[in-house]
Amino acid sequence: MPWVVREAVRDINRAVGRRWHAIDPLLPDPATLPAGCGEPLVVTADNGRVAGLGVCVHQHIGPDSLNQTWGAADRFTLVPRLAGPDVAAPADQLLAQWRDHLAGIGATRGPDTSAGVVWPSMDVTGIRALLRHGLQPLTVIAARTRPSSAGLSSGPPRGAHGVTIRAAGPADEEQVLDLELRLIRYDLQFGGPVWRASTARLVRDEIRTSLARPVSRTWLAERNGRAVGLLVAQSPQEAGWIAGMTSAAGAAYLQTMFVDQAERGTGIGAALVRHLHARLDGAGVDVTLLHHSQVNPLSAPFWYRMGYRPLWTSWEARPASALR
C-alpha cells in the first residue's frame, strides 16, 4: 500500500472512531482494515482531501461449512471507513466505485452471490446511499447491556405458567434438532438463510458437539414433558468471533431462540430469555449480542421488549449483480 494511502487510512480510522463513539458508545474502535482483493477504494472531497476509503473482501463458503446456510456461497463485502460528519455523499461515491469494481471483475454474475456492507445502525446519514445502490437491510446485530445493580432483579427469574425450563443434554438431540430446523425454515422466509443439501446434517453435528459439553448452553422449555421452546447461547469465551463488534469487553451471544407456533404469546420466550439473562447478569457479562432478521415481524418487537436495541445492520444485494 503506498504511504499516502497508509497515512490516509490512519487519519480516516481516527476520524471514524471519534464519530462512531459519538453516535453509539457500544460501537468498537474501527478495526484495522482487512487485506482486500486489491488496493483500497478511495473517495476524495471537493477540496482534494481523502473523505473515505473502502476495502472489498471476497469470501467463498464451501458446502461443508454451516456458514453456507446463513447466506450466499460467494460473498463480496465492502468494509467502509468514512470520516463524516455527514457521510451521504462519500458513501454514494464509494458504493459507486465498489459496484464498478465488482462489475469489472465479473465475479458477481452467479446466482449464489451477495454484495454486503455491515453498517452501524445509528449511522443514519448514509442510509439513503445504501438504498439508492440497491442494498436491503437484511439482518440486525442487536445488543443488550447489563442493567445497573439497581435494575437487577433479585430472586429467581419469572417463569411462564405450566412451563419448566431445563438445560438440555445429549439425550435431547432429536428435540433440539427439530426446533432448530423449524427456526431455520421459518427464517428462510426473510431472505437470509439458504437451505442447503447439508444443512440438516451440519446442524445435527453442531448440536451433538454442543450438547456433549460439560456445561450446557442449550435450554428447553417444556410443557407436560414436551419441548415447546429452545434457547441456545454462547458464553463470552465461545463468542470471541463476534466480540470485535462492540466496545464492551467480553460479549455473550444469543444464538437461537424459538417457540412452538401454538405456544407463542404466552410468555415462554420471555421466560427463557430471563433465565439466560439472570445467569449472564450474575456472571457480570456486560453485553449480550444476537442476530435477528430486520423483516421478521416477530423478532424485533420481542427483542426490543427484552431490552435489546440495534447496533449493526447488514445491508445486502443478493445476487451481488443486484448492486446498482
Ligand X SMILES: CC(C)(COP(=O)(O)OP(=O)(O)OC[C@H]1O[C@@H](n2cnc3c(N)ncnc32)[C@H](O)[C@@H]1OP(=O)(O)O)[C@@H](O)C(=O)NCCC(=O)NCCS
**Interface contacts to ligand X, rule CB under 6 A:** 183, 186, 257-259, 264-270, 292, 296, 298-299, 301-302, 305
CB of 303 to ligand X, least distance (A): 7
> Cα separations (Å) of 129 from 49, 145, 275?
21, 30, 41
CA distance 211 to 10: 44
Q: Which grid cell sits at 123?
A: 449511522
| CB closer to ligand X out of 72 and 257 | 257
Single-letter amino acid, residue 4: V
CA distance 139 to 192: 7
CB of 259 to ligand X, least distance (A): 4
The answer to whether the beta carbons of residues 51 and 82 sit under 8 Å apart is yes
CA distance 119 to 141: 10
| CB closer to ligand X out of 6 and 305 | 305
CB of 254 to ligand X, least distance (A): 8
Q: What is the DSSP letter of 208?
A: H
CA distance 20 to 83: 10
Surface-to-core class of residue 90, CB atoms within 10 Å of its CB (0-12 exposed, 13-18 middle, 19+ buried): buried
| CB closer to ligand X out of 43 and 160 | 160
| CB closer to ligand X out of 82 and 184 | 184
Sheet architecture: strand order including 41-44: 41-44, 50-60, 74-82, 113-120, 309-317, 136-145, 287-293, 251-259, 226-234, 218-223, 164-167
CB of 295 to ligand X, least distance (A): 11
CB of 312 to ligand X, least distance (A): 15
Report which residue's Cβ sits closest to ligand X.
Answer: 269
CA distance 305 to 283: 22
| CB closer to ligand X out of 57 and 298 | 298
CB of 176 to ligand X, least distance (A): 14
CB of 140 to ligand X, least distance (A): 9
CA–centroid distance for 237 within its chain: 18
| CB closer to ligand X out of 78 and 140 | 140
Length of the chain, in residues: 324
CB of 306 to ligand X, least distance (A): 7
| CB closer to ligand X out of 157 and 319 | 157
| CB closer to ligand X out of 108 and 299 | 299
| CB closer to ligand X out of 146 and 292 | 292
CB of 195 to ligand X, least distance (A): 16
> Cα separations (Å) of 184 from 187, 203, 207, 217?
5, 10, 14, 19
Q: What is the DSSP letter of 106?
A: T
Task: Please name which of 244, 262, 263 lies closest in space to residue 253, comparing C-alpha atoms.
Answer: 244
